[in-house]
Structure 1
Amino acid sequence: MTNFASRIAGVATLALAALPLAAIATTADARPVSVQVSDIDLNSAHGLAAFEQRAKHAAREFCRDSRGPESPLVRANCRSAVMSELHEKLPAAQLAQIRGATYAAR
């Protein structure tokens, strides 16, 4: 029985060690997403609509998997996460335009 418990513990240890490697493999090819905002007025309704359109396009491009098909749910979650991050950065871009500074998204 002790030998069986040792084997189970060994397998569990290997499985736990593999989890970080799996996470690294999925994020290692992560690249920055950028949305050009220098040519639009982010403080107008038209400018915000243009930003939204560009952000959606950037999210679709970023979440497209070049290694093969993924589930629609995985792609939707990815697009949602990218859009959330872009919307978090939007107020800083608006403030930068108000101040006349240049905003560079990464």
Structure 2
Amino acid sequence: MSETAPPSEPIFTTATATSRGGGISVTATELGLPIAMRLDPAELWRDPADLAGDILRVCRASAHRAGLARRELLAGTAGLTDDVLDLLGLPRPGDSDADAPDAYEPRSWLEQPDE
């Protein structure tokens, strides 16, 4: 039985995103699989449905960032073209993404961003 050496590069690209208030932080792969999450204790007192929605938004944002990083990696090191990267479903820079300010929907006037 032969042993295979571990890959020299990570199999998945990961990125971390944080909620506006900083209470929720999620690290996810480019496929959207969360691999680490940090919640401030104060977040646990919120309505469960609202908390779950915010966790999903932050997870989508981190997956989008990881997808952009994977796209850059594959375009740079492997020389893949944009057409191939599009077929892989990787996001393009400038796509409407989960990090956009309008992607966050405040639930009360207390959460309105300062302008």
Query: TM-score range, shorter-chain basis?
Result: 0.3 to 0.5
Higher-Rg member (1/2): 1
Q: Which has the higher strand share?
A: 2
User: Bigger relative contact order, structure 1 or 2, given CA contacts below 8 A and separation 6+?
Assistant: 1
